Amino acid sequence: FVKDHPDCEPEFYLARNGSDFIIRSANPILKDDIGRVKNKIDKINTLNSEEMRLLYRETITNGEFTEQGGAGLGLIEMAKISCHPIHYKFTSLAGKYYNFELDLKVDSD
């Protein structure tokens, strides 16, 4: 994610939808990072709870961390808590930047 972008500030929303919660975050991202993020989310969205647990364990032990220090554990954690697919979209900004929006539904039960 891009720390400072003049046209797109990071955003976070939490809303109640009936008995559920909707979490939305938006962050500027480099165009070059879209494929990696998209592939990670698409993979997570195909996993059942046991496969998610194994991916989490593999990710935490394999030592593959990004330059920012993350390994994608946040996305896995969100999917585990949600039990719903992660929805996302990328919107073009100026130059090599895109806005990355992520929506997550969380049951209140």
| pLDDT tens for each residue of the chain, 109 residues long | 555 655 667 889 999 988 899 999 998 899 999 999 999 999 999 999 999 999 988 888 876 655 555 557 888 989 988 889 999 999 998 888 899 999 999 988 7
Q: What is the pLDDT of residue 86?
A: 96
Q: What is the pLDDT of residue 54?
A: 92
Q: What is the pLDDT of residue 108?
A: 81
Task: Tell which residue, 11, 17, 24, has the closest CA to residue 87.
Answer: 24
Q: What is the pLDDT of residue 71?
A: 55
